[in-house]
Amino acid sequence: MVKAVILGAAGGIGQPLSLLLKLNETVTELALYDIVNSPGVAADLGHINTPAKVTGYLPPKEKNAPNDGLKNALTGAHIIIIPAGVPRKPGMTRDDLFKINAGIVRDLATGIAQYSPKAFILIISNPVNSTTPIVAEVLKKHNVFDPKKLFGVTTLDLVRASTFTGEISGHDSRDIRVPVVGGHSGITIIPLLSKISPSYSFSKEQIDSLTNRIQYGGDEVVKAKDGAGSATLSMAQAGARFADAILKASVKGEARLIEVSYVHLDADKDGGDKIRATVGLDYFSSTIELGTNGITKIHPLENLTAFEDSLLKAAIPELRENINKGVAFIKEDSKL
Ligand SMILES: NC(=O)C1=CN([C@@H]2O[C@H](COP(=O)(O)OP(=O)(O)OC[C@H]3O[C@@H](n4cnc5c(N)ncnc54)[C@H](O)[C@@H]3O)[C@@H](O)[C@H]2O)C=CC1
Ligand SMILES: O=C([O-])CC(=O)C(=O)O
């Protein structure tokens, strides 16, 4: 049995992501939880003739009743994906979402700590730089934190990097891999264009404009949607790609699966400590290798160009602030 759970399943990302997970034949059970409309989405997807049995759950109507919906959705989970929370409107930063989304993510993480602490957890809700540490701190408070199984999803940055560089290099964008490290907001997004595969030599101007476009790709969509939210469809594809990598490594035992994700650097002491020595942070989006039980290796940062090194230096203070804000939010929460 491979149970996938989506928390925030009725939203702009949640619905297409649920569809893509329903089409993933490794999944045998798909549990959809949201505060609205999840039974409807589940009924709709349930008519698709793929193996996964789909169920939808809501929280209780009465204010202080136990949340059996969340409990039943989470129990027995193999992988949990969280796109619950509000998206940006034009003029907002991802950090502006902290006020609302931090509490949503904290409460869902508390449910995970209680009902499915051994699952793989993928965080999409923004600001990812802070929400990932929030989940880790909740799990730590319940003594169930496994850094090898917690992932801030930054795959959309890699998807964009493949698309945008393909437009210039002429390579098929499906074959292009660009590591994008650091974090998931503006200047904390660090595309390592010198490490592009297949290799390509960009001009200085191309590096400047591609870097800027990858860093602010999210804003491009927010602007185009003009108040109706942020990236949903491309995010669903990116989330499904990352979830599939986890499923291939953990269920099918495919070895040395390589992705990039925003992780706690304790997930691999060796590689993690090397990055820590450079950046002085506990969380960083890095190239990782996946195995049956999660992260097996974090690749250190090596041979950065002077330009990439300047991007890294510019990212660190904001990333530190985002991480500290998430950690403090849980440390100072006396209810937990
Ligand atoms: N990591 C990434 O690369 C990306 C992250 N995002 C983020 O994903 C989040 C979701 O975006 P959208 O799907 O566009 O928003 P949306 O508003 O369309 O959907 C969010 C869903 O979460 C649900 N929700 C709210 N509170 C909840 C709770 N306590 N428990 C369960 N569900 C709850 C809502 O009912 C709604 O269905 C946003 O924070 C957005 O910034 C968006 C794009 C890319
Ligand atoms: O820009 C946003 O707010 C949503 C997001 O994280 C992205 O599209 O990368």
Task: Tell me the pLDDT tens digit for each residue of 261-287.
Answer: 999 999 999 999 999 999 999 999 999
Q: Which residues contact 132 (CB under 8 A, 6 or more apart)?
A: 123, 150, 151, 152, 262, 263, 264, 283, 326
Annotated active-site residue in 142, 171, 184, 264: 184
Q: Which residues contact 208 (CB under 8 A, 6 or more apart)?
A: none
In this prediction the pTM is 0.99
Ligand 2, atom 9, lies closest to the CA of 218
Task: Tell me the pLDDT tens digit for each residue of 137-173.
Answer: 999 999 999 999 999 999 999 999 999 999 999 999 9
Check residue 335 and give its pLDDT: 74
Structure confidence at residue 300 as a pLDDT band (50, 70, 90): very high
Task: Tell me the pLDDT tens digit for each residue of 8-28.
Answer: 999 999 999 999 999 999 999
Query: Which ligand number lies closest to the CA of residue 82?
Result: 1
Locate tokens 């090898």: which residue?
148
Check residue 257 and give its pLDDT: 85
Q: Is 197 exposed, middle or buried (0-12, 13-18, 19+ CB in 10 A)?
A: exposed
Residues flagged as binding site for substrate:
88, 94, 126, 160
Of ligand 1's listed atoms, the one at least distance from the Cα of 104 is 29
Task: Tell me the pLDDT tens digit for each residue of 227-270.
Answer: 999 999 999 999 999 999 999 999 999 988 899 999 999 999 99
Contact criterion met (CB below 8 Å) for 282 and 146: no
**Known catalytic residue at 184:** yes
Ligand 2, atom 3, lies closest to the CA of 88
- Residues in the ligand 1 pocket, defined by CB under 6 Å: 7-8, 10-14, 33-36, 83-88, 97, 101, 104, 108, 124-126, 128, 153, 156, 184, 229-232, 235
Contact criterion met (CB below 8 Å) for 293 and 148: yes
Task: Tell me the pLDDT tens digit for each residue of 62-80.
Answer: 999 999 999 999 999 999 9
Contact criterion met (CB below 8 Å) for 108 and 99: no
